[in-house]
Structure 1
Amino acid sequence: MSENDAISCIRSIKMPDYYRNYYSNLSTETYTIYQHAAAAKSTLFDSSAIIEPKIAFDLADRVAKMHEINITEPLRELLKIHGKELSALILSKDIALGNHSLPDATLEEKLDLAVRVGLAIITEGVTIAALQGISDVKIKKNKDGTEYLSISIAGPMRSAGGTESAVTMLIADHVRKAVGLAKYQANSFDDETGRFVEELRIYERDASNFQFHILDEDIIHVISNLPVELDGVDTDPYEVVNHKS
């Protein structure tokens, strides 16, 4: 978005003149600073010739630039009618079905983008969760040969941040249904629920405590009924004893 576009958007919003002047001046000064930064970068004294931060006008513009996808106007229109949660679900479904994606993108790539964009909308594009909080989005196979969706979370177990993780799974299930993937079948190949319990107890004992103690049977019940696989990457140097495979 150029400086003129930003000022044009500001002028289209109903507000007192002193607010409009304030935001217009703020926009002008921001772009002036950006131009100075670009000139400094062009000297190549820095290790990078580009300015990493991008200027975004609003949530829709911010999410679009985070993921380099042309969804600014569609998302802006959705947000006028729906809240960010419903807008996230609607747009993530569209992306999963191939809208707004590259024409040669695989289904796995579409689903990856759909989940990340949906999470970025929910978190208003102000956290790193949508970019680095999700490690992988993959399509895998159950024991019966049906395909399911797997989400790998890139972060340790912790008391905070649970909402983002839960919403990620919600969006993933939504796009899974949209493209016709089967539900994840826990314990198809191994005692996966047992490993979840063991990992959690080791983490509680050796890494960090939680605010609330979850019973083993509750963990088993939840993992057994997840329609999308919840996976993750190594975060701490502690090994399980009984579930190494």
Structure 2
Amino acid sequence: MPISTAPSLRIECLARLNLTGRGDSVATPMRVAIPSETALGERRIALVPDGVRRLVKAGHQVLVEQGAGEPASARDADFVAAGAEILNDAAEVFGRAEIVAKVRAPTLDEVALMTSGAALVALLQPAVNGDVLERLASQKITAYGLELVPRITRAQVMDVLSSQATVAGYKAVLLGASESGKLLPMLTTAAGTIAPARVFILGAGVAGLQAIATARRLG
């Protein structure tokens, strides 16, 4: 189920690429680009102003396409205040980037705008984006698929699947409640008592557990 109101992804893996200077070595200044998400219904953004501020503090340059953060309630002014440079041309955003951070995989046209030797950080969905991966490889672009990062303790800061599954479980119950013809909680009124609804949830992973918790909070 696509969740159009999902929050912005925290691209913490940029730190793992040594952009924040963590560890024994010093981070090499780089240009990180945040283009607009063009997938239908996509409202997330790869990097929020707080993340931009940390990268700028570490000595990096951050380029943000004009209006890229608006669907996620992040204004251009917020990015500027965090130290980012706003560009109104997508071609310039991709073309000047040493690292492109996106939520969804780029289109073939977007890949064509990237320079050879650049890096891409995104949810790549390689099973359905084989043509995009082939184009990335042919242009010698290093691509990091966040959904393929092992879900182990030392990689928790790069885990975007759990956060998105949490939102999906939460939102699924809200959408189900709005579509249901029955009220979820038990209600007692002068006219009588309405029994609480029964909610059936498949699975007990991150999304399922959040769905259970949300349904219980709704009554």
TM-score (norm 1): 0.22
TM-score (norm 2): 0.24
**Structure with a larger share of its residues in helix:** 1
**Structure with a larger share of its residues in strand:** 2
Q: Which has the larger radius of gyration?
A: 1
